[in-house]
Amino acid sequence: MRIVPDSNDTRDGLKLTDRATLSLLSTLEEGEPVTQRSLASSIGVALGLTNSLLKRAIKKGLVKVQEAPAKRYAYYVTPKGFSEKSQLVADYLSSSLNFFRKARDQYSDIYSQALANGHRQVLLYGTGELAEIAVLSAIDSGIELKAIVHVGRNLETFSGLPVAGSLDTDLLSTADAIVITSSETPQADYDALRQHLPDDRIYAVSLLHISRNSAENEGGGT
């Protein structure tokens, strides 16, 4: 399990430290000798955070450590550690399910708004987990998904839809509106889309926390 933290905030309902601890315990459960640097690379966090996580796990009795050859250490997950891991997995699955339900409901609401505005043929913007949820939410919604746009990505299809690697006039002419499904840089993607479409043809769910005034603020507007 590889976790790449974005910040000290939460994602999928788990705190950064909980997600990193889950990844740490999953990586160490084989009991193979490792260096902290290789461990940091395996779980996808900084070396300093790895050191802190190990100290915390050892202090809580989740992990035991023994010296090994070549300046390595063998870390062992204790029974208490396995119990902690099981609880973290349960929390992760529960929060992930809650995230799925929340995202699905928000995309369903977005589609209802689009239809009310006369926007039936829709493009999605961004591949990934949110795009998959948006595709599922479109089933029986009355919305017709035309394609997914992911600028610079070399994919033919995603979730059964054709993928366009650029946003051009011909593609935009096939749809009434576009729905943002990118989770990495949603604000930047929204600001870029405004160069091609009016605001009332761009839809985004609230969980992406997009500000519709960011472009004006950056340019000194009010």
Residues of the chain with CATH 1.10.10.10: 10-77
CATH of 10-77, one of 1.10.10.10, 3.40.50.1480, 3.40.630.30, 3.30.300.130: 1.10.10.10
Confidence at residue 28, expressed as pLDDT on a 0 to 100 scale: 87
Residues of the chain with CATH 3.40.50.720: 99-218
Q: What is the full DSSP assignment across 55-120?
A: HHHHHTTSEEEEEETTTEEEEEE-HHHHHHHHHHHHHHHHHHHHHHHHHHHHHHHHHHHHHHTT--
pLDDT above 70 (res 51): yes
Tokens of 145: 């998904």
Percent of the chain exceeding pLDDT 70 equals 87
pLDDT above 70 (res 132): yes
Confidence at residue 218, expressed as pLDDT on a 0 to 100 scale: 46
What is the rounded average pLDDT of the residues 203-222? Answer: 69
Bridge partners of residue 125, in order along the sequence: 149, 180
pLDDT above 50 (res 82): yes
Residue corresponding to tokens 């070399």? 154
Please give the CATH superfamily to which domain 99-218 belongs.
Answer: NAD(P)-binding Rossmann-like Domain (3.40.50.720)
pLDDT above 50 (res 137): yes
Residue 190 binned pLDDT confidence (cut-offs 50, 70, 90): very high
Tokens of 123: 């493009």
Q: pLDDT tens-digit profile of 154-164? A: 889 999 999 99
Confidence at residue 88, expressed as pLDDT on a 0 to 100 scale: 87
Confidence at residue 45, expressed as pLDDT on a 0 to 100 scale: 79
Residue in 167, 164, 181 with CA at minimum distance from that of residue 111: 181
Please count the other Cβ atoms lying within 10 Å of the Cβ belonging to residue 36.
Answer: 16
Confidence at residue 70, expressed as pLDDT on a 0 to 100 scale: 65
What is the rounded average pLDDT of the residues 165-191? Answer: 90
